[in-house]
Amino acid sequence: MIQTISNYAGQSVTLNGWLYNKRGSGKIQFLQIRDGTGFIQAVMSRQDVTEAEFEAAASLPQESSLKITGLVKQDDRAPFCGYELQVTGFEVVSRSEEYPISKKEHGDAFLMDNRHLWLRSMRQHTILRIRASIVKAVRDYFDDNNFLLVDSPIFTPNACEGTSTLFETEWFDKRKAYLSQSGQLYQEAACMAFGRSYCFGPTFRAEKSKTRRHLNEFWMVEPEVAFIDLEGDISLAEDFLCHVIERVLNLHEKDLTQILERDLNILKNTRKPFPRLHYLDAVKKIQELGMEIELGGDFGAPHETELTKLYDRPLVVTHFPSAIKAFYMKKDPENPTYAKCMDILAPEGYGEIIGGGEREDNLDLLLAEIKKHGLNQADFEWFLDLRRYGSCPHAGFGMGIERCVAWVCGLHHVRETIPFARTLDRLSP
Ligand code: 4AD
Ligand code: MG
C-alpha cells in the first residue's frame, strides 16, 4: 500500500492500482499511480523493463487498472509522498476507455453527474478522508467521555423539526411514516435510561432550498445529557468542537494546506471559550452592520456570514425567540419569549454548524407546545412519558457532519463533503 510505503524503502514491492496521470518520452515514463491509499510517482526507464511493458505504459489511458513492481526509493523531491518507485515490472489489468474527467476544467454539474468517478481525484479523495477522520474524532470524543451510542430509528411516526420538511412514506396499509429529521427525541429517552447518550446517523429534510449549505440527506451527531442545562450544553459543544478540530489539524495539516489550500489561522484559533451573544445582542450587531433584520425573525445566511466576520473563532448565539424554534425547546423562565437554545456559527461565512439547547421538561408546558404547533398528541405519548416518569432538566445538540467538513476544508458547497449528495435536483448517481 502507498500509505505504508515508507516501511519498504530499499525493497521491491508490487502495487495494485490505477494510472492517475503520466508524462514521458521515448526513454522514460513518469507514471502517477494511485492505489486508493495514496499517490506515488513511478519512474519507468526503457532499459529496466521489457519492450512490451514500456509500450503498454506509454500508451495507457488515464485510470486504467494495473499491477506495477519496482524498487522503493526515498527522495525528498519526489511528488506526493517523498518516495518514488523505480519500475521493474508492469502489467495492465484493464485498459480504461477515454476517461471523462480530464485535466481541463469541468463544470460543477458535470462533475456531480460523474461523482462515481470524480471520487478518484486527489482533491475529492482528500476531502472524504478528512470527513472520515472527523467522523472518527466525533465518535472517539463521545465514546471516551462516557456517552453510550444509542442509534435512533430512521422511520418515525412524527415530526421533530417541523412538519414542512418531512419526507413521507406509507407504513404498509396502516398509516404514514416519515424519514427522521433528527434522532433527538429518541436520545431524550436514551439519556433518561443511560445518563449520557449519542446517536450518529443519516437524517432527512424535504427542504426545497438550493443553498450551498443544504442537503436533503445529511449525517448528524446528536448527544443528549440528563441533568445539564443550557450552560452545560454549551460547554460540552465547545469542548467537543475543539477536540474535533485539534484532531483534524494533527492528522491533516499537510492535506489541508497543500491539497485544499486552506488557510489554517482561524481553525487553529478554535479554542474555548467561544464568544457568546444573546439573540437580542446579535440582532443589534447585525443592524449595526447595516443589514436589515426583523426583531423576532430567524437569521439568514448573509446575517450569519456578516456577524461571524466580527470574530476569529466560532460564535455561540443563544436565546432565539421561542416562536421560531421547535416545539421541544425550553423557554427561558426569566423571559419566556426566548428559548434556552444555542446555535454555534462557524467563522468565515460557514454559518450554523451546531444547533441545540435545553429541552422542555415540564409536562403541561410541553403539551401546550405540541398543541400550538398543530402536532398530533397521540404520536408523542411515548415522548410525554419521559416527562411523566422522572422528568429532569436535560439538554443536547446536533452537528451536521457535512457543514463541519465544509468549514474545516474551506469548501464553497456542502455537496463535496458527502460521498453521494442528495439535493433537490440530484438523486443520482
Ligand atoms: O438545527 P437543527 O435543525 O437541530 C436539530 O435537528 C436538533 N434536533 C438537534 C439536537 O438538538 N439534537 O440541525 C442541527 C444541525 C445544524 O446545525 C446543521 O449543522 C445540520 O444539523 N443541518 C443540516 N446540514 C445539511 N443540510 C441541511 N439541510 C441541514 N439541516 C440541519
Ligand atoms: Mg438549527
| Single-letter amino acid code for the residue at 281 | D
Q: How confident is the model at residue 314 (pLDDT cuts 50, 70, 90)?
A: very high
Q: Is the CB of 356 under 6 A from ligand 1?
A: yes
Q: How far is the CA of 209 from the centre of ligand 1 (A)?
A: 14
Whether residue 190 has pLDDT greater than 90: yes
CB 83 within 8 A of CB 5: yes
Q: What is the number of the ligand 1 atom nearest to the C-alpha of 397? A: 11
Q: Is the CB of 347 under 6 A from ligand 1?
A: no
Q: Is the CB of 17 under 6 A from ligand 1?
A: no
pLDDT of 104? 77
Q: What is the number of the ligand 1 atom nearest to the C-alpha of 215? A: 26
110/427 Cα distance (integer angstroms): 14
| Single-letter amino acid code for the residue at 47 | Q
Closest CA to 65 of 18, 12, 116, 28: 18
Beta strands in 75-128 (DSSP E): 83-94
Q: Is the CB of 401 under 6 A from ligand 1?
A: no
266/336 Cα distance (integer angstroms): 35
DSSP string, 255-278: IIIIIS----HHHHT--SSPPEEE
Q: How far is the CA of 341 from the centre of ligand 2 (A)?
A: 10
The distance of Cα 14 from the centroid of its chain, to the nearest Å, equals: 35
Q: How far is the CA of 355 from the centre of ligand 1 (A)?
A: 6
Total number of residues shown for the chain: 429
Q: Is the CB of 214 under 6 A from ligand 1?
A: yes
pLDDT of 102? 82
3-state secondary structure of 212: coil
Q: How many CB atoms lie within 10 A of CB 115?
A: 18
266/270 Cα distance (integer angstroms): 7
Whether residue 170 has pLDDT greater than 90: yes
Closest CA to 276 of 305, 241, 235, 331: 235
Give, in words, the CATH class of 115-417: alpha beta
Q: How far is the CA of 399 from the centre of ligand 1 (A)?
A: 6
Q: Is the CB of 351 under 6 A from ligand 1?
A: no
Which of 96-110, 338-352, 391-405 is the least confident region?
96-110
Q: How far is the CA of 273 from the centre of ligand 2 (A)?
A: 21
CA distances in angstroms from 371 to 103, 126, 336, 389, listed in the order given: 58, 47, 17, 21
pLDDT of 414? 97
**Protein residue with least CA distance to atom 24, ligand 1:** 400
**238-277: pLDDT as tens digits:** 999 999 999 999 999 999 999 999 999 999 999 999 999 9
The distance of Cα 95 from the centroid of its chain, to the nearest Å, equals: 35
- Over the chain, what is the mean pLDDT? 96
66/42 Cα distance (integer angstroms): 12
Closest CA to 283 of 242, 324, 329, 224: 324
* Strands 83-94 and 155-156, sheet pairing: unpaired
Mutate which of 403, 411, 422 for ligand 1 pocket (most atoms within 8 A of beta carbon): 403
**404-421: pLDDT as tens digits:** 999 999 999 999 999 999
Task: Pinpoint the alpha helices (H) of 255-342.
Answer: 265-268, 279-288, 301-308
Q: Is the CB of 352 under 6 A from ligand 1?
A: yes
Q: How far is the CA of 132 from the centre of ligand 2 (A)?
A: 23
| Single-letter amino acid code for the residue at 249 | L
Number of the ligand closest to the Cα of 421: 1
Q: Domain ranges in the chain?
A: 2-94, 115-417
**Protein residue with least CA distance to atom 1, ligand 1:** 355
CB 354 within 8 A of CB 398: yes
Mean pLDDT, residues 295-313 taken together = 94
What is the fold of 2-94?
OB fold (Dihydrolipoamide Acetyltransferase, E2P) (2.40.50)
Q: How confident is the model at residue 105 (pLDDT cuts 50, 70, 90)?
A: confident
pLDDT of 424? 95
Q: What is the number of the ligand 1 atom nearest to the C-alpha of 160? A: 8
Whether residue 361 has pLDDT greater than 90: yes
CB 63 within 8 A of CB 19: yes
Mean pLDDT, residues 382-392 taken together = 98
